[in-house]
Amino acid sequence: MIPWPIAELLPHAGDMILIDEVLSFDADSIVTRLCVRPGGLFSQADGSLPAWVGIELMAQSVAAYAGCQARQAGRPVQLGFLLGTRNFRCDVERFAAGSELRIRALRSLQDDNGMGVFECHLHGPGLHAEARLNVFCPPQIDSYLQEPPQETDS
């Protein structure tokens, strides 16, 4: 059992949190779950989610992995960045309302500068999606979020 609610693991708020819970995690991987519900932020008229949302589900799973690692080490959860993906493949156009989806993210590379690569797989009834996500969680996140000082006319 994971001792932290999903909202404490992700640097997101409200409707932007798309995954429901963390099922398991270890030093190199995480498994998350969600039930596709109508009325969500990215829901289509029939309550389904377009398949491209799978990339965000994978990215949130990676963020939850980082959140679990931070919580376990007694550190605060930090913001990270999805830099891109390679080879996103999905065998359906949408994830049907009511479907239970499971996402597994496996860390294949992570360096001391915050760069990481995760192999991700999303499974549900009659569907499979996969992608390799490139992510970045810099050690000094605040320096990336500060705006440069404004130049003033003298």
Instruction: Specify the 3-state DSSP secondary structure of 26.
Output: coil
pLDDT tens for each residue of 97-137: 999 999 999 999 877 777 899 999 999 999 999 999 999 88
**4 is written with which tokens?**
């932290």
Distance CA 137, CA 69 (A): 13
To which residue do tokens 């398949």 refer? 51
The pTM assigned to this predicted structure is: 0.88
Instruction: Name which of 142, 133, 31 is nearest 79 in CA terms.
Output: 142
Q: In the Cβ-directed half-sphere of 119, how many Cα atoms lie within 13 Å?
A: 4
Distance CA 62, CA 22 (A): 11
Instruction: Name which of 152, 153, 102 is nearest 127 in CA terms.
Output: 102
pLDDT at 143 over 80: no
Most confident residue range from 62-66, 75-79, 144-148: 62-66
Looking at residue 63, its pLDDT comes to 95
**13 is written with which tokens?**
């708020």
Q: Determine the topology of domain 6-140 in CATH.
A: Thiol Ester Dehydrase; Chain A (3.10.129)
Question: Domain spans of the chain?
Answer: 6-140
pLDDT tens for each residue of 27-75: 999 999 999 999 888 999 999 999 999 999 999 999 999 999 999 999 9
Looking at residue 113, its pLDDT comes to 79
Looking at residue 1, its pLDDT comes to 66
